[in-house]
Structure 1
């Protein structure tokens, strides 16, 4: 009778594990072999992204107890995406620039999110950045036509839901990664011309403002 060690040995087990072979000329690269700096052929269509996100919302909606729980889960999902977006944008910036730099000031960091992060995720910059006139620690990123909400019909009993909580999670993750800890939430702020307009509200921690005062 074979010992348990022999039974589990890779040389005696029927299971075999192998490393992926190198692509042959003319073969299609898998996702792990693509060049991270070439984005032209790696873009996803807006329709595909909208469909995928709507399925995520429907799946999550069946497993929550209310609007707050649903927004929290979308925020958590966005946070996970945001950490990867930050890694990818930082890698591309370092690769394409002879002197890459990390933003240490508040406004340049927000502008990077408004432009670079939004373009990396949604294919275009956000529409505006605004500073709160009431609270010095609050800023807002405005998206007049959120891509992820274009094909989502919110039921009447969930009228207060903002699916842009996903985007808020992305923003919070990027800010945390850059060293600007903040609480980020999404709010549905429709207008006559932009019925799906979303406001990403950013409330920075006191340590961020204290550091900003020192750097002035």
Structure 2
């Protein structure tokens, strides 16, 4: 879906303005999608031999997998198959984006559940964010890191529409290995990401309609904008909290 920057925007935060060591460190690259080195023959043999004794995946400690990496090649292949499978069962670009959004929403419900569980388990006094900006910052940083291994690049607020916010990702990991045909140039596979964001916001009681839009520029051809349009109830609650 093409998105031609319809509204003036006020920058809330961008990676260039963040001063934390975590954001300035070169290790903030997308290591979550780094390709693992090929195992040796000896290692492969030992893995096969130990197969029957490996613990059930449902018995694994969720805190021990907090920093686990996922093969970039495996993720790209799986997501490609998802897009192709869905494309064969829809009637147009809008329908395809809607289906990807629905699939992302299912992932988002699990992401927020896991993040809340880990936060409650690692802190004696866990807190829940109730302010809009704090929640958006959490999505921009913590959710993006949990899913993509890096924070988003910026978050902006619409000047004309107070109920609209935009999260900018200059190089979305899910778009890196996707080649969109010319006749489908308006397609944004980041609708999958939009579904994740929408589920997280719904889970935190900040209902919104979230969509993805291609906003490329010469420096970042895959640049994507995640547009968040909040429901009126969220803005009314923000006024009461002031």
User: If the length of structure 1 is used for normalisation, what is the TM-score?
Assistant: 0.86
* C-alpha displacement of 1:41: 6.6
The answer for the alignment partner of 1:148 in structure 2 is 174
How far apart are residue 30 of structure 1 and its match? 2.5
Count of residues in correspondence between the two structures: 192
Greater RCO (Cα-Cα under 8 Å, separation 6 or more): 2
Q: Distance in 1 between matches of 2:240 and 2:75?
A: 42
Q: Does 1:199 align with 2:218?
A: no
Change (3 A) 1:109 1:41: closer
Q: Which secondary structure does the structure 2 equivalent of 1:191 belong to?
A: coil
* Distance (whole Å) between structure 1 residues aligned to residue 56 and residue 177 of structure 2: 30
1:97 shift after superposition: 1.4
Match of 2:215 in 1: 189
**Equivalent residue number for residue 3 of structure 1:** none
Equivalence for 1:211: 237
> What's 1:99 paired with?
125
- Describe how 1:1-216 pairs up with structure 2 within 5 A: 27-39=53-65, 42-216=68-242
Distance 2:125 2:61 in 1: 21
Alignment partners' CA distance in 2, 1:65 and 1:32: 38
Cα distance in 2 between the residues matched to 1:162 and 1:141: 15
Q: Which has the larger radius of gyration?
A: 1
Runs of 5+ unmatched residues, structure 2: 1-49
SS in 2 for 1:37: helix
- Cα distance in 2 for residues equivalent to 1:38 and 1:111: 25
- Structure 1's consecutive aligned runs of 4 or more residues displaced over 6 angstroms after TM superposition are none
- Give the C-alpha shift of residue 47 in structure 1: 2.2
C-alpha distance in 2 between matches for 1:103 and 1:49: 31
SS in structure 2 opposite 1:129? Answer: strand
* TM superposition shift of 1:134: 1.5
Using the size of structure 2 for normalisation, the TM-score is: 0.77
Distance (whole Å) between structure 2 residues aligned to residue 142 and residue 41 of structure 1: 24
RMSD in angstroms over aligned alpha carbons?
A: 1.5
Q: Distance in 1 between matches of 2:82 and 2:58?
A: 24
- 1:46 Cα deviation (Å)? 2.1
Q: Hey, what's the Cα distance between the residues in 1 that align with 2:133 and 2:65?
A: 27
Identify the structure with the greater helix proportion: 2
Question: Which runs of no fewer than 5 residues in structure 1 stay unpaired?
Answer: 1-23
